[in-house]
Amino acid sequence: MKSFTLDMNCLIAIENDEPAKVHVLALIEAADAKKIALSMVASGASERQPGGVYLNNIADFKERMRSLGFGSVDLLKPIGRQDISFWDHAIYGSEEAAAREKQIFEALFPRHSASWSEYAAAHGADVDNLSSTQGRKWKNMLGDAQAFWGHEYYGADHFVTSDDNFRRKLVLTCKVPADTILTPMEARAKI
């Protein structure tokens, strides 16, 4: 059975009624029918949610997923990070796992540091304030890196995103096969 990892843009496509919505819904329908395996990395729960709020627990994110039709989508655990992750839904990463996550971050965002303290210093941000504008930007970049890291770590076949940055950067720098990263429409064609 083919397996697909959705990034946060797929959830947002449904929420905002974007053109990719029809393709994401088709993937969910195929997962519901047990034709494919579908997952998403829980790092999206740590990002700023609609209305500009941050969630207090993973259950609220699961409810958001369920309300948008993602109830059957498996929620994968990212590497836990202090003041970012939900500890009941994260793993302790090995040195190799953390190194790969950093490599993915640096490939996706080559002008930015994968270290929050280094990023904060370079951008004049308060290292103790991840809720700042710079903190939110960095957390979104980390979320992207964690999403692809989770895709690889859990061994899915295809990563589904409408963000072309993944394909442009990871295929070249991390030697990821181009057909690993698909748009929602391309993923639908693989069902």
CA atoms of 135 and 165, how far apart (whole Å): 20
Mean pLDDT within 113-118: 94
**Backbone Cα Rg of the chain:** 16
CA atoms of 14 and 28, how far apart (whole Å): 11
What is the percent of the chain with per-residue pLDDT over 70, rounded to a whole number?
93
Query: Is residue 134 scored above 90 in pLDDT?
Result: yes
Banded model confidence at residue 53, pLDDT cuts 50, 70, 90: low
CA atoms of 28 and 135, how far apart (whole Å): 32
pTM above 0.85, yes or no: yes
CA atoms of 132 and 89, how far apart (whole Å): 24
Four-point Cα dihedral 91, 95, 97, 101, nearest 10: 100
Mean pLDDT within 118-140: 92
pLDDT digits (tens, 9 = 90+) for 9-52: 998 899 999 999 999 999 999 999 999 999 998 877 666 666 66
Closest CA to 187 of 15, 29, 69, 17: 29
Closest CA to 32 of 70, 77, 76: 70
Buried b (16+ CB within 10 A) or exposed e, 141-153: bbbbbbbbbbbbb
